[in-house]
Amino acid sequence: LYTAPDSCEGRCGEPFSEEDECHCHRECDIERNCCEDRERHCGPAGFSSSRASITDQELLELSEQLYELDHNKARPGDIALNPQHRAGPDETGDKRDRSPQPLYKFVNEELFSKPTYASFIKLLDNYQRATGREEEVTAEELREQDGFLQEVMKTELMKKLFVFLQGKGRYSSEQEFLQDLKEMWFGLYSRGDGEPDSSGFEHVFSGEVKKGKVSGFHNWIRFYLLEKQELVNYFSHNFNGPWDSYPDVLGLQFSWDGFYKEVGSAFIGSSPEFELGLYSLCFLARPGRACHLSLGGHQLSVQTFPWSKAPASGGRRFIATAYVTSP
């Protein structure tokens, strides 16, 4: 189900990209830069067909479609931001609070009563932020994971993503897709000393603290709720996307209960299903590489990485991180 930067699995027929570690297109034999397993996957007897590969153009088109299908996103007037100081490259790392006011002036919390938001928020208190401490997952927390995934799969956005991936031969049923989402996002692995202390969901959406710094934490809802509790202190922003509606993109600096985040990019005003869907798409299509997308006519990229320091479970991979970047 997964492609890897050093493998041709799922990449047969993929166009040449300088970002790739090795290549799977027809001319790579001549150029002597094929992945070692190209013949096994893409040869006459290979089992990874070009039909399953996802082209750059398809990513651009599908991301625009998902952007239009984000029906649960914030509307104009639902969020009022106060970005204040824009940090230059030499300012992001100096841990100075250059913005005396909070980032969020107002959020219409009626958004949070929508099923995907409500089930998402329930997950945020399930984690110990410090890496190296084993996560103990209760039966109730497992139910909350299932509840969230079931709610997002009811949305038109996630159904569109599934139909696309099914058409690529990646999944035979919605249940198979749902199970894979659960494994890639909620499967536990170790970022510390061998204890199962982390997951893709915890890292990307809830945030972690590792070696005295904030790690992950790329979600606007989480940021707003902690800022409201005065546990997050907004310092500045170094990037403000070109969008004049939601979702928007912001790169920001902040302190979380005394721990610093030098650059933390986040979609602003997007629904939980939008972020989950976009990150999952990029993890499946371009793991370990930049995933070039288009939202509302504006280019941007998503970077994902698989967790590679432990054996994959059943041949599958866990999400190590996923975040949005400028083009």
**Is residue 261 flagged as an active site residue?**
yes
Output 125-131 pairs: Cβ under 8 A, ≥24 positions apart.
126/202, 126/206, 127/202, 127/206, 127/208, 128/197, 129/206, 129/207, 129/208, 129/209, 130/208, 130/209, 130/210, 131/191, 131/192, 131/197, 131/198, 131/208, 131/209, 131/210, 131/215
What's the CATH code of the domain at 16? Answer: 4.10.410.20
Judgement on whether residues 140 and 236 belong to the same structural domain of the protein: yes
At 229, is the secondary structure helix, strand, or coil?
coil
Judgement on whether residues 250 and 209 belong to the same structural domain of the protein: yes
Judgement on whether residues 27 and 127 belong to the same structural domain of the protein: no
Does residue 309 surpass a pLDDT of 70? no
**Poorest-confidence range of 77-86, 143-152, 306-315?**
306-315
Tell me how far apart the alpha carbons of residues 159 and 179 are, in angstroms, rounded to a whole number: 15
Judgement on whether residues 6 and 77 belong to the same structural domain of the protein: no
Judgement on whether residues 85 and 38 belong to the same structural domain of the protein: no
Q: Which residue carries 């970022």 as its tokens?
A: 191
Judgement on whether residues 3 and 65 belong to the same structural domain of the protein: no
Domain range for 99 = 56-325
Judgement on whether residues 142 and 254 belong to the same structural domain of the protein: yes
List b or e across 111-135, with b for residues whose CB sees 16 or more CB atoms inside 10 angstroms. Answer: beebbbbebbbbbbebbbbebbeee
- Active-site hit among 25, 73, 261, 292: 261
- Report the run of H or E that residue 105 belongs to, with start and end: strand 104-107
pLDDT digit string (tens) for 87-122? 999 999 999 999 999 999 999 999 999 999 999 999
Amino acid symbol at 192: G
Residue 50 lies in a domain: no
pLDDT digit string (tens) for 254-263? 999 999 999 9
Peptide linkage before 115 cis (omega within 30 of 0): no
Residue 251 lies in a domain: yes
pLDDT in the model for residue 48: 41
Percent of the chain with pLDDT over 70: 93
Judgement on whether residues 137 and 204 belong to the same structural domain of the protein: yes
**Is residue 210 flagged as an active site residue?**
no
Judgement on whether residues 25 and 136 belong to the same structural domain of the protein: no
Total of domains in the chain: 2
Q: Which residue carries 């250059």 as its tokens?
A: 98
Residue 49 lies in a domain: no
Judgement on whether residues 253 and 293 belong to the same structural domain of the protein: yes
List b or e across 59-82, with b for residues whose CB sees 16 or more CB atoms inside 10 angstroms. Answer: beebbeebbebbebbbeeeebebe
**Is residue 228 flagged as an active site residue?**
no
pLDDT in the model for residue 23: 87
pLDDT in the model for residue 228: 98
List b or e across 302-314, with b for residues whose CB sees 16 or more CB atoms inside 10 angstroms. Answer: bbbbbbeeeebee
Residue 48 lies in a domain: no
Does residue 316 surpass a pLDDT of 60? no
Judgement on whether residues 31 and 60 belong to the same structural domain of the protein: no
Tell me how far apart the alpha carbons of residues 105 and 127 are, in angstroms, rounded to a whole number: 27
Does residue 186 surpass a pLDDT of 80? yes
Whether the Cβ atoms of residue 92 and residue 263 lie closer than 8 Å to each other: yes
pLDDT digit string (tens) for 266-303? 999 999 999 999 999 999 999 888 999 999 999 999 99
pLDDT in the model for residue 43: 65
pLDDT digit string (tens) for 29-81? 777 888 888 877 776 543 344 556 899 999 999 999 999 999 999 999 999 99
pTM value is 0.85
- Active-site hit among 25, 73, 203, 210: 203
Judgement on whether residues 11 and 159 belong to the same structural domain of the protein: no
Tell me how far apart the alpha carbons of residues 322 and 319 are, in angstroms, rounded to a whole number: 7
pLDDT in the model for residue 194: 81
Residue 102's alpha-carbon distances to 75, 78, 233, in angstroms, are 21, 16, 7
Q: Is 262 exposed, middle or buried (0-12, 13-18, 19+ CB in 10 A)?
A: middle
**Poorest-confidence range of 15-19, 197-201, 301-305?**
15-19
pLDDT in the model for residue 83: 97
